[in-house]
Amino acid sequence: METLHIIGGGMAGSEAAWQAAEAGVPVVLHEMRPHVATFAHRTGDFAEMVCSNSFRSDDDERNAVGLLHWEMRAAGGLIMQMADRHQLPAGGALAVDRDAFSAAVTEALRAHPLISFSNEEVTELPSSGKWIIATGPLTSGALAESIRAATGAESLAFFDAIAPIVYAETVDMSVAWRQSRYDKGETEEEQKAYLNCPMTRDQYEAFIDALLAAEKTEFHEGETAGYFDGCLPIEVMAERGRETLRHGPMKPVGLTNAHKPEEKAYAVVQLRRDNALGTLYNIVGFQTKMKYGAQTAVFKMIPGLENASFARLGGIHRNTFINSPTLLDSQMRLKSRPGIRFAGQITGVEGYVESAAMGLLAGRMAAAEIKGATLPPPGFETAMGSLVNHITGGAEAKTFQPMNVNFGLFPPIEAKGGRRGRKDRYKAYTDRAKEAFSQWLAEQS
Ligand SMILES: Cc1cc2nc3c(=O)[nH]c(=O)nc-3n(C[C@H](O)[C@H](O)[C@H](O)COP(=O)(O)OP(=O)(O)OC[C@H]3O[C@@H](n4cnc5c(N)ncnc54)[C@H](O)[C@@H]3O)c2cc1C
């Protein structure tokens, strides 16, 4: 049987190797550590957790990442199995003993009769055979260059510059209105593509004060080179002058307040649609290094966002990722070279769990293909399916930035409003997802 090669023994590569080998396919796992280091990894073990030791919420009834845990457990995921085995007390979160966890993943992979290892840096995108590239946010420079040469300069990013993403239903539309600047666009949908939140002069001044005072996170050593190209954090723009934002992402020109047409806003915050479903909107130009708590407090000062819920908060990180919506097909294969799949954070998902989940899927899909079958992705109503759908087509390709799993990626379920209604709806989402995911697994057995 044809061998599957996997580059990168992180969260995604380890899970992909396990899934493919468990399906009976021989695997070679190529990992460069410890011979070649990254600035964040410390060991030569597989599935090293580079920062926090948390897999986040384990609530599989009302939390999207908890649901993803559930799906990965149901699919016999190695990462979840070892996380459960080395769990630490952490309230509702799944925290693990990081060294014991990655040692256990390493031991399980090394003991598998169908997995062998190549301890080297792969420096070129392979030209033949079946491969999964799972080299993560810190993909080595030579391989990144080779990926860039094959896919085009615009298709590979070395930094993420994530603006906060808001659930559309939590924007107060009695304050905000829909309009594109200067009503640009051919269709009405385009002319009303943005949500606009107006500010008076006093509100703007208070907002700038809050931005300047907010707590910020520091860059990791070795992380900053080149990041200032075109993605300044908003607080850095505010530091350059109190008016900078008003002449940049918050400029009020070309917009008329639909609720108060006679009132000219002093500044306007714009939100742009982030997914095809229209459930998520990002705050345009608001990439930031503010700490998460500070972000929530500061962004809720924006008129119309006082009660906003955030699907994800902003950030700027060293992060190598491809423009998956344009480059990958729904089988996670490079359209231009179908022998190559991508998995993990390099596909534009974000986080240990999401990366491992994309590894699980890519491993299963590649194994099925080698055995002469095609494994369709799980349905959009599952956590895994909604995430792969987002990166391979659901997301806006032009503004594509890495994404965590969240309920905004799922086809909506209507329910009564309010906090209570939302909780019941989340349960409805997870019930629907579990049924669909179980069905997907059953079809493979
Ligand atoms: C500084 C930093 C902090 C982070 N903190 C968190 C956090 O707290 N929580 C969270 O959920 N996520 C965090 N992340 C994101 C986290 O890295 C990912 O979620 C997760 O590790 C990605 O899994 P992966 O398998 O895609 O990549 P990784 O786990 O990074 O695995 C990629 C592997 O590929 C190897 N590799 C790279 N290039 C080559 C090559 N050319 N040849 C051979 N091997 C290669 C690397 O050595 C590595 O082992 C952080 C990322 C960074 C950079």
Q: Assess whether 175 and 265 both reside in one domain.
A: yes
Full-model pTM: 0.89
Q: Specify the pLDDT at position 49.
A: 93
Q: Specify the pLDDT at position 222.
A: 58
Print the domain residue range for 296.
165-313
Q: Assess whether 430 and 327 both reside in one domain.
A: yes
Nearest CA to ligand 1 atom 28: 10
Give residue 138 CA to ligand 1 midpoint distance, Å. Answer: 6
What is the sign, positive or negative, of the torsion defined by CA atoms of 170, 174, 175, 180?
positive
User: For position 261, which CATH number holds?
Assistant: 2.40.30
Q: Specify the pLDDT at position 395.
A: 86
Asked whether 343 lines ligand 1 (CB < 6 A), one says no
Residue finishing a domain among 279, 298, 313: 313
Q: Assess whether 237 and 151 both reside in one domain.
A: no
Q: Specify the pLDDT at position 255.
A: 96
Please check the confidence at residue 418 and state whether its pLDDT lies above 90: no
Q: Assess whether 151 and 232 both reside in one domain.
A: no
Residue finishing a domain among 265, 284, 313: 313
Count: domains in the chain: 2
Mean pLDDT of 387-416: 90
What is the sign, positive or negative, of the torsion defined by CA atoms of 87, 91, 95, 97?
negative
Q: Assess whether 309 and 329 both reside in one domain.
A: no
Q: Specify the pLDDT at position 417.
A: 59
User: For position 16, which CATH number holds?
Assistant: 3.50.50.60
Mean pLDDT of 179-204: 93
Give residue 16 CA to ligand 1 midpoint distance, Å. Answer: 14
For residue range 31-61, what is the model confidence (pLDDT) as tens digits? 999 999 888 888 999 999 988 899 999 999 9
Q: Assess whether 8 and 151 both reside in one domain.
A: yes
- Which atom belonging to ligand 1 lies closest to the Cα atom of 12? 25
Looking at per-residue confidence, does 159 or 264 come out higher? 264
Asked whether 11 lines ligand 1 (CB < 6 A), one says yes
Q: Are 316 and 233 in contact (CB under 8 A)?
A: yes
Q: Assess whether 79 and 131 both reside in one domain.
A: yes
Q: Assess whether 309 and 337 both reside in one domain.
A: no
301 labeled binding residue: no
Q: Assess whether 325 and 218 both reside in one domain.
A: no
Separation of alpha carbons 222 and 381, rounded Å? 39
Q: Assess whether 430 and 354 both reside in one domain.
A: yes
Q: What's the DSSP call for residue 225? A: T
For residue range 138-154, what is the model confidence (pLDDT) as tens digits? 999 999 999 999 998 78
Q: Assess whether 234 and 282 both reside in one domain.
A: yes
Residue finishing a domain among 247, 279, 313: 313
- Report residue 173's pLDDT band, with 50, 70 and 90 as the boundaries: very high
Q: Specify the pLDDT at position 224.
A: 57
Choose the residue to mutate in 101, 119, 355, 404 for probing ligand 1, maximizing ligand atoms within 8 Å of C-beta.
355
Give residue 126 CA to ligand 1 midpoint distance, Å. Answer: 21
SS3 content of the chain, % helix, strand, coil (to 5): 35, 20, 45
Please check the confidence at residue 414 and state whether its pLDDT lies above 80: no
Instruction: Return the closest-CA partner of residue 132 out of 407, 346, 354.
Output: 346
Q: Assess whether 412 and 296 both reside in one domain.
A: no
For residue range 230-271, what is the model confidence (pLDDT) as tens digits? 678 899 899 999 999 999 999 999 999 999 999 999 999 999
Give residue 50 CA to ligand 1 midpoint distance, Å. Answer: 7
Q: Specify the pLDDT at position 398.
A: 87
